[in-house]
């Protein structure tokens, strides 16, 4: 009997579910199956490859397609940098208020504003804010250099995220051509978001700082799929033929984590539209779960 019960627990954990979570009702299970079909259809209509992972932060249930496939992360790798930043603040290695003067020789193009400026002196926290809000590549490299690229990479491995790898600084095209791309999987990006949300390895203040940074206002496909007023802690990313977004959506009574990763896109616009539609579809599902009881009456609307 004990062995059988233990086997059930292991199976639930492997499926990404909470062992103590009750089985969904047949009607709730049907609603989830419809969500799965909708997401599959949206992914199938993209001329390229789409992987995604969603986790219900209440029940632990997961929906995933190509969840273990390795994709380029583009700027969504900055979620890993945010985690390492607050971890090192917790450890006393760095301070968010420490001043760093920009070395112009290390300024890079792409997204952001620092490349257009002179040699400003900003706090480490300000560089991190530019990294998240504007996806400023120069600011990101300042943060990476202060934390240590190798430390970020090692931290992801220590968290069990073996395929989440920061292998180059931003805009290092030569490194990308050598195959040193920054990568992750849909499942691992969602797992990292869960680690942040739980504050795993962080102080309560570190956990709150990480979420506050990722919640800062930004333009993203994930957010465009949400109604006004719904909080999200996310980081989008884009490269040639690649669009990514990953974040926690704080739907009322039913928060969830989602990552959508696309690559080999014929049309980047189509990839962006797919992420937005998948975000909207996921939100509509979790909002109904949050508004209704076990049988689905929408009392919370």
What's the Rg (C-alpha) of the chain?
A: 20
Q: Which residues pair with 286 in a beta bridge?
A: none
Any residues with CB less than 8 A from the CB of 248 and at least 6 apart, and which? Answer: 57, 193, 196, 197, 211, 214, 232, 233, 234, 255, 256, 257
Q: What local confidence, expressed as pLDDT, does residue 20 receive?
A: 54
Q: pLDDT tier at 36 (50, 70, 90 boundaries)?
A: very high
Q: How many CB atoms lie within 10 A of CB 273?
A: 17
pLDDT confidence of 168, banded at 50, 70, 90? very high
Answer yes or no: are the C-beta atoms of 57 and 197 closer than 8 Å: yes
Residue 53, CA distances (Å) to 124, 165, 187, 260, 279 in order: 32, 18, 5, 7, 11
Query: Hey, what domains does the chain have and what are their CATH numbers?
Result: 25-291 (3.40.710.10)
Is the pLDDT score of 110 beyond 70? yes
Residue 174 binned pLDDT confidence (cut-offs 50, 70, 90) = confident
Contact 157, 163 (CB under 8 A): no
- pLDDT at res. 107: 84
Confidence band, pLDDT 50/70/90 cuts, at residue 16: very low
Nearest CA-CA partner of 88 in 141, 131, 150 = 150
Kindly state the average pLDDT of the residues 182-193.
98
183-184 and 62-65 beta bridge pairing? unpaired
Residue 8 pLDDT exceeds 80: no
Helix and strand tally (H, E) in the chain?
A: 11, 9
Distance CA 173, CA 164 (A): 19
Q: Count CB neighbours of 53 within 10 A.
A: 26
Q: For the chain, what percent of residues have pLDDT higher than 70?
A: 92
In the predicted structure, residue 1 carries a pLDDT above the cut 70:
no
The mean per-residue pLDDT over the stretch 97-121 comes to 88
Residue (of 17, 67, 74, 61) closest to 35 by Cα position = 61
How is residue 243 written in tokens? 């669009």
User: Does residue 14 carry a pLDDT above 50?
Assistant: no
- Angle formed at CA 276 by CA 271 and CA 279, multiple of 5 degrees: 125
Encoded tokens for 208: 């709150």
CB 193 within 8 A of CB 179: no
CA distances from 172 to 141, 177, 182 (A): 10, 9, 11
d(CA 73, CA 57): 23
Burial class (CB in 10 A: 0-12, 13-18, 19+), 167: middle
Q: Assess whether pLDDT exceeds 70 at residue 148.
A: yes
Q: Which residue has the tokens 């219900």?
A: 56
What is the torsion angle, in degrees rounded to the nearest 10, for the CA atoms of residue 89, residue 93, residue 97 and residue 103? Answer: -120
Q: Is residue 54 scored above 90 in pLDDT?
A: yes
Tell me the average pLDDT across 81-89: 98
Helix, strand or coil, per DSSP, at residue 247: strand
The CA-based angle 142-147-151, given to 5 degrees, is 135
**Placement of tokens 């004990």 in the chain:** 2
End-to-end CA distance of the chain: 43
- Looking at 14-23, 32-41, 150-159, which range is the least confident one? 14-23
pLDDT at 297: 77
Average pLDDT over residues 42-53: 98
Tokens standing for residue 299: 């009392």
- Binned at pLDDT 50, 70 and 90, residue 75 comes out as very high
Residues ≥6 apart with Cβ < 8 Å to 159:
192, 195, 200, 201
More confident residue, 110 or 90: 90
């Amino acid at each position: 009997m004990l062995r059988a019960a233990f086997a059930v627990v292991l199976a639930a954990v492997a499926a990404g579910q909470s062992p103590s979570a009750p089985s969904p009702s047949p009607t709730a299970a049907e609603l989830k199956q419809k969500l799965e079909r909708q997401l599959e259809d949206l992914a199938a209509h993209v001329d390229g490859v789409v992987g995604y992972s969603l986790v219900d932060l209440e029940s632990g249930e997961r929906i995933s397609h190509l969840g273990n496939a390795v994709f380029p992360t583009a700027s969504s790798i900055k979620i890993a940098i945010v985690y390492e930043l607050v971890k090192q603040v917790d450890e006393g290695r760095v301070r968010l208020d420490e001043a760093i003067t920009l070395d112009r020789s290390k300024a890079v193009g792409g997204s952001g504003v620092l490349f257009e400026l002179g040699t400003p002196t900003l706090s480490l926290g300000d560089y991190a804010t530019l990294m998240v809000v504007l996806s400023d590549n120069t600011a990101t490299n300042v943060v990476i250099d202060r934390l240590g690229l190798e430390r970020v990479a090692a931290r992801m491995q220590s968290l069990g995220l073996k395929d989440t790898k920061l292998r180059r600084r931003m805009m290092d095209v030569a490194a990308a051509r050598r195959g040193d791309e920054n990568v992750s999987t849909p499942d691992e990006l969602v797992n990292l978001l869960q680690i942040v949300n739980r504050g795993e390895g962080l102080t309560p203040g570190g956990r709150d700082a990480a979420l506050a940074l990722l919640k800062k206002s930004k333009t993203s496909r994930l957010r465009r799929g949400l109604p006004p007023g719904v909080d999200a802690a996310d980081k989008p990313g884009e490269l040639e033929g690649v669009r990514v977004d990953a974040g926690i959506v704080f739907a009322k009574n039913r928060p969830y984590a989602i990552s959508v990763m696309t690559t080999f896109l014929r049309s980047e616009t189509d990839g962006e539209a797919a992420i937005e539609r998948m975000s909207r579809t996921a939100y509509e599902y979790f909002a109904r779960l949050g508004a209704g009881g076990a049988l689905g009456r929408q009392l919370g609307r």
